[in-house]
Amino acid sequence: RPSFRERLSKARGTVSGYLGSILSRSAIDDETWDDLEEALIRADVGVGPATEVLDAVRARVKADGIESPEVLLEAVKDEVKARLHVDDRTLHSDEGETNVWLFVGVNGVGKTTTIGKLGKREAEVGRTVVMAAGDTFRAAAAEQLGTWAERCGATLVRGAEGADPSSIVFDGITKAASMGADLLLADTAGRLHNKTNLMDELRKVRRVAGKEPGHVTEVLLVIDATTGQNGLAQARVFTEAVEVTGVVLTKLDGSAKGGIVLAIQADLGIPVKLVGLGETADDLVAFDPDEFVDALFA
Ligand code: GDP
């Protein structure tokens, strides 16, 4: 299996040229700072976070008398890591309860796939998993989820065509509770058939999911890394509608915009908990900022 670093090759490719040219010079000069800024912006770190990082690095270069480009790059990595630091990235659940993890996000970002991968992972550690096919916009979503459920021995709850997503989620919770299941993974739609407001629907799903016997311990916002700053703008709308507890950043394997991780945390103030590095079950991994930054700036 390719390493984390190898799977980030697209994102690394974006910055490696700039880093190479920084390292090829014997001193830190104006061009160094231009290259550094360009590398961060190209990686889609966002203007605000990039400026913050650069200002902090400049201050360190001055205070510590840094003269070598190598040491400068280490300072950049440190500053980026410091900005990615959060105390807790775990996925929360309570023993002996039917925990509900709700997945929200725009159509096509990878919600259904993420639920499948996560369901498999949780089933492998011995937890009983139920999946609710709450994405009633995409006809294939329930089939897709069904395939994942079958693979990992999870129970699938789906509704009739055009059923109310919140009722499917509620049926899922009722089923999970009656089975004494540990986890209900609930898919939601990223688009609607009718004119009902998507955010109103999400709020309703969230409300219903929290009703007895439901116990919502995670609301995970799924973001497609390849969409960069645009995806971030869309994501913001979801965080305004429901209280999001974590981000799943998918398709990082196919993205040149790895710096979006920093923009997400700086902008939304929500920790990235998981990253998707491909389409198979093993391609969903816990986000480790040190590993990520070291790979990105290698
Ligand atoms: P949904 O509409 O949000 O439920 O999106 P899907 O789960 O159907 O995913 C859309 C597409 O993205 C599918 O073809 C998935 O296989 C693909 N996908 C999901 N996550 C990843 C990932 O981490 N990496 C890659 N390369 N593809 C992914």
Helix (H) or strand (E) holding 102: strand 99-104
Residue 77: pLDDT over 90: yes
The amino acid sitting at 144 is: Q
pLDDT digits (tens, 9 = 90+) for 258-272: 999 999 999 999 999
pLDDT at 192: 66
The arrangement of strands across the sheet holding 246-250 comes to 155-157, 129-132, 183-186, 99-104, 216-224, 246-250, 272-276, 284-286
Which residues are within 8 A (CB) of 137 and not within 5 positions of it... i.e. 6 or more apart? 107, 189, 190, 191, 192, 193
Distance, CA of 269 to CA of 263 (rounded, Å): 9
What's the whole-model pTM score? 0.96
Note the pLDDT tens digit of each residue in 45-56.
Answer: 999 999 999 999
Helix (H, G, I), strand (E, B) or coil at 64: helix
pLDDT at 150: 97
Residue nearest to atom 2 of ligand 1 (CA): 108
Asked if residue 109 has its Cβ within 6 Å of ligand 1, the reply is yes
Q: Is 106 helix (H, G, I), strand (E, B) or coil?
A: coil
Distance (Å) from CA 108 to ligand 1 centroid: 6
Q: Strands 183-186, 216-224: parallel, antiparallel or unpaired by DSSP?
A: unpaired
Quick one: pLDDT at residue 3? Answer: 87
Indicate which atom in ligand 1 lies nearest the CA of residue 277: 23
pLDDT over threshold 80, residue 36: yes
pLDDT reported for residue 33: 97
Q: Is 228 in the pocket of ligand 1 (CB under 6 A)?
A: no
The pLDDT tens digits of the residues spanning 133-192 come to 999 888 799 999 999 999 999 999 999 877 889 999 999 999 999 999 999 999 998 886
pLDDT for 193: 63
- Predicted confidence at residue 161, as pLDDT, reads 76
How crowded is residue 250: how many other Cβ atoms within 10 Å of its Cβ? 30
Q: Is 134 in the pocket of ligand 1 (CB under 6 A)?
A: no
What is the Å distance from ligand 1's center to 118 Cα? 13
Nearest CA, atom 6, ligand 1: 110
pLDDT at res. 298: 82
Can you say whether the dihedral through the CA atoms of 287, 293, 296, 298 is positive or negative?
A: negative
Share of the chain above pLDDT 90, in %: 86
pLDDT tens for 200-229 read 999 999 999 999 888 999 999 999 999 999
In testing the pocket of ligand 1, which one of 113, 138, 273 has its CB within 8 Å of the most ligand atoms?
113
pLDDT tens across 114-139, in order? 999 999 999 999 999 999 999 988 87
pLDDT above 70 coverage of the chain, percent: 98
